[in-house]
A and B are shown apart, each in its own frame.
Chain A
Amino acid sequence: MIRRWFQALPGPLPVRLLIAFVIVAIVVALLAVVFERAGDLIDTGGVVGPGQ
């Protein structure tokens, strides 16, 4: 599945590697943000206040 996705990328091998790297970096960054926010469901740090 990953191999097919990689081969479907345009351009020669170095370009495909670069595109794949950028896509993976964006996905990881997005996941980090989502995980961070979703983490508030199990633990916000215990702060008490109107916005909690």
Chain B
Amino acid sequence: MKLLRGLGWTMIWAGGLVLLFLVYQLWGTNLITDRAQDQATDALEVYLSDTGEQLAAAGELPPPTPDDPEAAQPVLYEEPSPALHTPFARIVIPKAGVDHIVFAGVSRDDLKKGPGHMEWTALPGQPGNAVISGHRTTYGAPFYDLDLVGVGDEITVQTAIGTHVFAVREILIVSPSAVEVTEPRLGVWLTLTTCHPRRSAAQRLIVHAELAAGPNLEYARSLFPDVEGSAS
């Protein structure tokens, strides 16, 4: 009888702990991310404004509206790497309901605050493959509905040099160790990575998108001189 009572209490405590765990993961972590995103709003404005002013002073900022985009020279507009762990961009994916501030870095703490940019990959809008990772289930779940995105859908990323619009080209499900999806690509690419399926870290959902509009579009097109419309 005493043994049964002890077993009963143990199960009640274990159940309570599991419940506490789920409440913390599915609700409590969202509060942490929401607060971090709120706090980052002003910091991002300051960063975009200050960096934009520096680039403008150096004459390295693209004109707001090019007179004749077809005649534009393929100039590469660059921007400085942001300090690690700081907000530096905003990502918007209408199809997936995403509108989040992106932080530099993909450490555990960075991803608690929002989507994170793998600092060893290209910056969004720069030649190569910019990789942004985000939570799918916990910590605000910025990429919760990323599976709703289809080929051709738009992804917009605002950085210090302007707004880059990417068009989704490829969607993959891979293993968590499939590091090849982060490798550099010819052109200007954006890759999003998140856990798959929801509430599991067993696989990764990968979205590859190519630059379709933005300050470096002409430069991106110039990388494919013989291929018609390769970056369109």
Interface residues of A (CB under 8 A from B): 1, 31, 35, 38-50, 52
* B contact residues, range: 35 or more
Main secondary structure of the interface of A (DSSP, over half): loop
Query: Which residue from B131, B133, B138, B205 sits with its C-beta under 8 Å from A42?
Result: B138
Interface residues of B (CB under 8 A from A): 9, 17, 20-21, 24-25, 29, 106, 108, 111, 116, 118, 131, 133-139, 141, 143, 174, 176-179, 181-182, 193-195, 199-201, 204-206
9 example contacts (A-B, Cβ-Cβ < 8 A) are as follows A45-B108, A45-B111, A45-B134, A45-B139, A47-B111, A48-B181, A48-B206, A49-B176, A49-B179
Query: Shortest Cβ distance from B205 into chain A, in angstroms?
Result: 8
What is the chain A residue whose CB lies nearest that of B110? A45
Q: Check A42/B179 contact, CB under 8 A, given A47-B111, A47-B193, A48-B193.
A: no
Find out whether the CB atom of A35 lies under 8 angstroms from the CB atom of B24.
yes
Q: Check A43/B138 contact, CB under 8 A, given A1-B9, A48-B133, A48-B204.
A: yes
What is the chain B residue whose CB lies nearest that of A34? B21
Find out whether the CB atom of A45 lies under 8 angstroms from the CB atom of B25.
no
What is the chain B residue whose CB lies nearest that of A43? B137
What is the chain A residue whose CB lies nearest that of B182? A48
